[in-house]
A and B are shown apart, each in its own frame.
Chain A
Amino acid sequence: GAGVSQTPSNKVTEKGKYVELRCDPISGHTALYWYRQSLGQGPEFLIYFQGTGAADDSGLPNDRFFAVRPEGSVSTLKIQRTERGDSAVYLCASSPQTVRNSPLHFGNGTRLTVT
């Protein structure tokens, strides 16, 4: 398919461990976003990339969270020293960003469970 792909779809890890979540955006989309959705809440913005650079990382909750997009395509969200409160669905989205407010195309998310 040509949609946003996120792997793994599910990840269970122990408290204190390091995890990486991967996002493959739609080909040709220059803008990439990470959101987090906790139970009973709407998606919450984490970080936005335009090309390779993080244009807005104001949503990252603390310095345990980091994201990269080295070649302007695939992105990895990295979480160090995971805590139980990090358990959520992590959503990636992309857009062509040719016009402000281009609708975001979301992947199916990675469900992270920290035990």
Chain B
Amino acid sequence: DQQVKQNSPSLSVQEGRISILNCDYTNSMFDYFLWYKKYPAEGPTFLISISSIKDKNEDGRFTVFLNKSAKHLSLHIVPSQPGDSAVYFCAASGRGSQGNLIFGKGTKLSVKP
């Protein structure tokens, strides 16, 4: 059973608008969450992270929100740019783990000019 779920395989957004990518998790032992971005034929690159002691972390156009009671996090990109078109992976890490990240299946974001 998947512990990290990204239920939307794809998302299409107009340039300049907000992109919202969602992620749900089932394991209450997860205490650190990350978003990675992946272009075709490249490895994932780290985008932004959040600790479970926070509910929001912002870095430029990217903001991650964490709702622990709902076991839900989201990544907001605003304004969206065509260069943001990629697959976005949500990942989680549990207490006591060292780099054993549990990834979701990813959401393919397409930003149309």
On A, residues with C-beta under 8 Å from B are: 4, 31, 33, 40-45, 48, 50, 55-56, 58-59, 91, 93, 95, 97, 100-101, 103-109
Number of A-B residue pairs having CB atoms within 8 Å of each other in the complex: 63
Count residues on chain B whose CB falls below 8 Å from chain A CBs. 25
Query: Measured between alpha carbons, how far is A97 from B102 in the docked complex, in Å?
Result: 18
Shortest CB-to-CB span from A104 to chain B, Å, is 6
Contacts of A95 in B (CB 8 A): 99
Residue of A nearest to B95 (CB): A100
B44 lies within 8 A of A106 (CB): yes
In the complex where A101-B32, A101-B49, A103-B34 touch, is A43 in contact with B44 (Cβ < 8 A)? yes
Pairs A-B, 4 closest by C-beta atoms: A42-B103, A106-B43, A103-B46, A101-B32
On B, residues with C-beta under 8 Å from A are: 4, 32, 34, 36, 41-46, 49, 51, 89, 91, 93, 97-106
B43 lies within 8 A of A97 (CB): no
B46 lies within 8 A of A44 (CB): no
A109 lies within 8 A of B99 (CB): no
A104 lies within 8 A of B106 (CB): no
Query: Measured between alpha carbons, how far is A95 from B46 in the docked complex, in Å?
Result: 11
Residue of A nearest to B9 (CB): A40
Shortest CB-to-CB span from A25 to chain B, Å, is 12
Query: Measured between alpha carbons, how far is A4 from B32 in the docked complex, in Å?
Result: 24
B100 lies within 8 A of A59 (CB): yes
B100 lies within 8 A of A58 (CB): yes
The CB with the most chain A CB atoms within 10 A, among B34, B43, B49, is that of B43
In the complex where A40-B105, A103-B34, A103-B49 touch, is A45 in contact with B100 (Cβ < 8 A)? yes
